[in-house]
Each structure stands twice: as structure tokens, then as C-alpha cells.
Amino acid sequence: MNNFTRTITLLLAFVALPATAEVRVFACEPEWAALAGEIGGDLVSADSATTGLQDVHHIDARPSLIARLRQADLLVCTGAGLEAGWLPVLLRRANNARVQPGKPGYMEATTYVGMLGRPERVDRSAGDIHAQGNPHIQLDARNFLAVADELADRLAQIDPANAAQYRAGLADFRQRWQAALDGWSRDTASLQGMPIVVHHDAWVYLVDWLQLQQLATLEPLPGVPPSSSHLSRLLQQLEGSDAAAIIHSSYQSPRAANWLAERTSLPVVELPATIGGTPAATDLFSLFDDITARLGTVAP
């Protein structure tokens, strides 16, 4: 082989290999893209359709979203209606048979964890509730173990040649995650039973995991400004209470939380709802490091 052909061959290999070798994962939220990376390592390329600083209920359509879903081998979303406003129409436009519901390439994380906030009855008066339960499962760090098990299975199914590596990646992740879980539960022992006020009802999994106590919700119906009678009831309720903090998500405006803070002199704690929600939350581990550290600042 002469020099020229060798260079061309090398170049071709360089260009062609990553496109064919990787399992392309289309994640709806950053936490699932990160989880795929933790398990698959270099064998997967994972992108998220949304960022940690955006309301995942609604997204603006960009051409690249359709193009990426069209090439995807595996779609990982939260499910339970969280992406109902845009995922069905995006799936239709991408027209990719590998990632349609029911295929191995279509995975909803909420299917594999115990759901909280499942309404006893669903009617039109209860607001923007999700019939399948509260979808914000990523805020209980324990949930990632069950989702990781399923995700590793799916990766092995889609890319059987590397199944052993996905199993090894899963085992490694489980071990590191379990150690981290132990650390977080040690660090947050003092938070147990801490009474908090939340902006939206998006924190039930965090409250359940860290055994906090949710006293009240500032905006009971997402997307609808609270009425003045709700706010005055809230102020009365907080008057004699021992609430420690007001929690709001970094993707939402702090105005409502600040309004309440001014009247109750409670501290406001801004938490990342997922990776990218705060500068410190750069991966799954630092996400929960940051959440627990921020909550620690108001620990009793």
C-alpha cells in the first residue's frame, strides 16, 4: 500500500467508524443521556432534546431534532405524559421504525420505577395532573438503578455484539451509584423531616427520598397563577409553622418564591431539576451532590 492510499484509508476509517459503531441514543432529558453514557461509555453517543434550564413540557421545534431522532437507535424518555406535548408529533415526523412505541428502541423510564402522585381519580377539575402519576422521577436518585438495569438490557438487545460490555458498564455504574447513594443519605441525615414549601408539585420524589416534609405548594396548578385567597391561606399556614425553606427549580423564575420569602423571611433554595440546571450539576453524580449541598445550607 502506498502512502497516499494509506492516508485515504485512515481518513475514511476515521470518518466512517464513529457513525457505524456507536449506538445512537436520543434522550428526551439530559439525565437519560448521561445514564446511557455511564453504561455504554464510548459505545454510545447520546444527546438530549432538552436542557436542564428548560421546561420539558414544551419545546421549540428545530430541524436537528427531527434529523437526530431519524438516525437514533434508541429513544429514552421519561414518559408518563411528560413529553406528551411534543414527542408523539416528533416521532411521527422522524418516521423512524426503530424507535416507535413498542419497539426495543423505545423506552420510557417511568415504566420501570414506582410512581408517586398517582391520582385516585382523574377528572378535569384537578389541573394539569398526570394520570399515570408524577413524572419527575429523576429527583429520587434511587430510581436510576432500576432505569439503568433496563437501559443496559435495551443497549444489549440493540447492539448484541457488545452485550458483555454493557453488562460490565452496568455493574460498574451500579457499584459507583450505590456508594454515592450511601454518601448522600449520610450527608442528608440531618434533613430528615425538614418542613419545606415547594413552588410546584415537582419535588415529590426528592421529598420521598430524603424524607422531607412538604408543607405547602406555592402554585398548586402549574401554569395558572395562584389566586389571592390561596396565597393568603398559605401565609396563614406558614405563620405558625416551622418551615425551613422555599424550594424552586432553576428553570423557573424565582419571582413567586421571592414574593413568599419576603413575607415569611424563609430562605429560598434554588435546585437543579436535572443535569445542567445549575453550573455545578454537570453529570448524574454532581447533580445530586449539588442538590444535597444546597439543601444542606438550610438544614436545621
Partner 1 sequence: MNVDGLDASILGPAMAAGLLVLVTHVPLGREVLRRGIIFIDLAIAQIAGVGVLAAHSLHLAHDGLAVQAIAYASAIAGALLLFACERRWPEVQEAIIGCTFIMAASAGVLLLAGNPQGGEHLRELLVGQILWVDYHSLLPVAVLYAGVLVCWRLLQGERNRLLFYMLFAVTVTASVQLVGVYLVFASLIIPALAVRRCTAGAVFRGLLVGVCGYAVGLLMSALLDLPSGAVIVLALGMLAIVFSSLWHCDGAVRTGRSR
Cell 427520598, located at residue: 209
When asked if residue 16 is in the footprint of partner 1 (CB under 8 A), the reply is: no
When asked if residue 243 is in the footprint of partner 1 (CB under 8 A), the reply is: no
CA distance 68 to 74: 11
Task: Using the rule CB under 8 A, give the single segment among 4-12, 90-98, 162-170, 181-189 that binds partner 1.
Answer: 90-98
When asked if residue 89 is in the footprint of partner 1 (CB under 8 A), the reply is: yes
Rg of the chain in Å (alpha carbons): 22
Kindly state the smallest distance separating residue 202's Cβ from partner 1, in Å.
15
Kindly state the smallest distance separating residue 44's Cβ from partner 1, in Å.
18
Q: Is the CB of residue 204 less than 8 Å from the CB of residue 116?
A: yes
Q: Is the CB of residue 80 less than 8 Å from the CB of residue 112?
A: no
Over the window 155 to 174, marking each residue x when it contacts partner 1 by CB under 8 A and - when it does not, the resulting string is --------------------
Nearer to partner 1, 126 or 179 (CB): 126
Task: Using the rule CB under 8 A, give the single segment among 197-205, 218-226, 241-249, 275-283 that binds partner 1.
Answer: 218-226
When asked if residue 119 is in the footprint of partner 1 (CB under 8 A), the reply is: no
Strands 268-271 and 74-77: unpaired
Judged by CB under 8 A, the chain residues 171 through 200 that form the site for partner 1 are: none
Coil/strand/helix, residue 24:
strand
Q: Is the CB of residue 216 less than 8 Å from the CB of residue 208?
A: no
Closest by CA position to 29, among listed 173, 202, 156, 184: 202
Which of 55, 128, 172, 262 lies at the binding interface for partner 1 (CB under 8 A)?
128
When asked if residue 233 is in the footprint of partner 1 (CB under 8 A), the reply is: no
Closest by CA position to 192, among listed 42, 43, 296: 296
CA distance 74 to 194: 40
Nearer to partner 1, 132 or 143 (CB): 132
Kindly state the smallest distance separating residue 93's Cβ from partner 1, in Å.
6
When asked if residue 58 is in the footprint of partner 1 (CB under 8 A), the reply is: yes
When asked if residue 127 is in the footprint of partner 1 (CB under 8 A), the reply is: yes
- Give the H/E segment covering residue 77: strand 74-77
When asked if residue 300 is in the footprint of partner 1 (CB under 8 A), the reply is: no
Backbone angles phi, psi at 134, to 5 degrees: -70, 125
Nearer to partner 1, 57 or 142 (CB): 57
When asked if residue 66 is in the footprint of partner 1 (CB under 8 A), the reply is: yes
CA distance 253 to 250: 7
Positions that interact with partner 1 (CB under 8 A): 58, 60-68, 70-71, 85-86, 89-90, 92-93, 95, 124-125, 127-128, 221-225, 227
